Amino acid sequence: MQYHADVTREGRFWHIHVREIDRVTQARRYSEVEEMARDLIEVMTNEPNPSVSIAVELPARVRAKLEHAEQLSVESERAKSEAAKERRLAVRALVDEGVSQREAAVLLGMSYQRVSQLVNS
């Protein structure tokens, strides 16, 4: 049988609730959570070496920070994409002004190969 342990942080301890047996235990360190859940299941069911999956519910403050970090990552990727587009347009504009790709590379601090890629993309 597969058991499911719901884990939350409460004060200085990890609170472990095993759904299938509706029992609770705790651990001081996260590294002890799975072992404590297994011990609880073994004691309550006499089942040796039970299979347990751990689901951690992070504190709301932590979840909010992670969500904000993800939002910033998405915005960063969008900004990088926009910057690449603008760089490409700048190279094309310079070349359209009659500047050679080699001169554009020197002026923009890029390699000739990179300028060539941007012009041809």
Per-position DSSP letters for the chain, written without gaps between them: -EEEEEEEEETTEEEEEEGGGTEEEEESSGGGHHHHHHHHHHHHH--SS-EEEEEEE--HHHHHHHHHHHHHHHHHHHHHHHHHHHHHHHHHHHHHTT--HHHHHHHHT--HHHHHHHHH-
Q: In CATH, what is the architecture of 2-57?
A: 2-Layer Sandwich (3.30)
pLDDT value for 83: 95
Spatial distance between the Cα atoms of 68 and 7, rounded to a whole number of angstroms: 23
pLDDT tens digits, one per residue of 4-43:
999 999 999 999 999 999 999 999 999 999 999 999 999 9
Banded pLDDT at 91 (limits 50, 70, 90): very high
Predicted local confidence at residue 121, as pLDDT: 85
Summary mean pLDDT of the chain:
96
What is the pLDDT confidence band of residue 113, given thresholds at 50, 70 and 90? very high
Domain ranges of the chain: 2-57, 76-120
